[in-house]
Amino acid sequence: MPNLYKKPFIIANWKMNHGFESTDIWLDKFFRAFYSNREKFDNLTFVICPATILLDYIDSEVMDEGLEQLEDIIAKRKQTLSRLTDEEIDKILIEEKIIKIGGQDCHYELSGSFTGNTSLLNLKEVGCEFVIIGHSERREFNAEGNQIIAKKLNLAISQKFMPILCIGENLAVRNKKEHINFVQEQLKEALAMLDSNQSFELLIAYEPIWSIGSGNVPTILEIKEISDAIIATINELKSQNKIANNANVSVLYGGSVNSKNSASILAIDNIDGLLIGKASLEADEFVEIALSYQSSAK
């Protein structure tokens, strides 16, 4: 299955932060930094996962920004504006969004009596292409287990989303040296509802719980050990015909990423992007992280 997006993925997870006013400031700074470094960002995909209530607003701001750049965009694609229909222009603006939009969670049903939850259909309507599934904060504070996560993942894939599946061990598991097994089991259980006929694209974010928001980052070797184990598990599931052979899977890292440690993490082979919490709340720092990719020498 072809990968629709350029790697690496630089993904902001704002969690429950930012209001409309600070979102405006963030977007302004981001757009400015984006255009002054444009050619450096030709080969990566930016994604922003804000609070649900901000999604629609952010998407229309990003679309408006694209509209302002329409002539440049069309020229870059070697097309002629006058020959394009409104529908074609809309499609181009969506494809060329300088930052893609993602939800932080979704429900495992498309609609129904689920007060307070968010449907993938609504996420689609407000321009989301990505959705985070199984973040450790959802697992901990909303009692989400692997079975629910498997249902969400299955639905997100069938609705043609790019899911960002989060997995990772806590400190007790790591201290017992059971982290590899633990992460592999989490992954297998999350993928348990898929079958070999369903081709899909998936981002798997390895986010050790002890690293999230703590400033403690695993060593490069520790991250590599897990990303290799994730890829091995995916290959094993493919060879057992449990998932599609042409499934396109990329591994990301998340947990206390900042512009000082990002280059060395992005340089790890098998790591195709970053899921960034705290450091993504400042647009300048978020862009610095993306710029550090240039020095990751990959």
Query: Which residues participate in catalysis according to the annotation?
Result: 135, 207
Number of residues that bind ligand PGA (CB under 6 A): 13
Choose which of 29, 151, 278, 298 interacts with ligand PGA (CB under 6 A).
278
**Cα–Cα distance, 111 to 103 (Å, whole number):** 16
Nearest-5° angle of CA 185, CA 186, CA 187?
Answer: 90
Choose which of 50, 218, 254, 273 interacts with ligand PGA (CB under 6 A).
254
3-state secondary structure of 151: helix
Choose which of 275, 287, 289, 290 interacts with ligand PGA (CB under 6 A).
275
The stretch near ligand PGA (CB under 6 A) out of 94-102, 172-180, 249-257, 259-267 is 249-257
On whether the CB atoms of residues 60 and 49 are closer than 8 A, the answer is no
The stretch near ligand PGA (CB under 6 A) out of 111-119, 169-177, 254-262, 285-293 is 254-262
Choose which of 223, 257, 283, 290 interacts with ligand PGA (CB under 6 A).
257
Cβ 262 to ligand PGA, closest distance in Å?
11
Q: Which residue number, 47 or 247, has a Cβ lying nearer to ligand PGA?
A: 47
Choose which of 131, 180, 212, 251 interacts with ligand PGA (CB under 6 A).
212
On whether the CB atoms of residues 289 and 276 are closer than 8 A, the answer is yes
- Phi first, then psi, for residue 256 (nearest 5°) are 55, 35
Interactions with ligand PGA, residue window 191-210 (CB under 6 A): 207
Contact call for residue 276 and ligand PGA (CB under 6 A): yes
C-alpha count within 13 angstroms, C-beta hemisphere, residue 226: 32
- Partners of residue 164 on adjacent β-strands: 132, 203
Q: Which residue do the tokens 């694609």 mark?
A: 77
On whether the CB atoms of residues 102 and 49 are closer than 8 A, the answer is yes
Element spanning 55, H or E: helix 52-68
Contact call for residue 168 and ligand PGA (CB under 6 A): no
Contact call for residue 171 and ligand PGA (CB under 6 A): no
Which of 26, 122, 18 is CA-nearest to residue 65?
Answer: 26
The residue with its CB nearest to ligand PGA is 277
Cβ 132 to ligand PGA, closest distance in Å?
8
Residues binding ligand PGA (CB under 6 A): 13, 207, 212-213, 254-257, 275-279
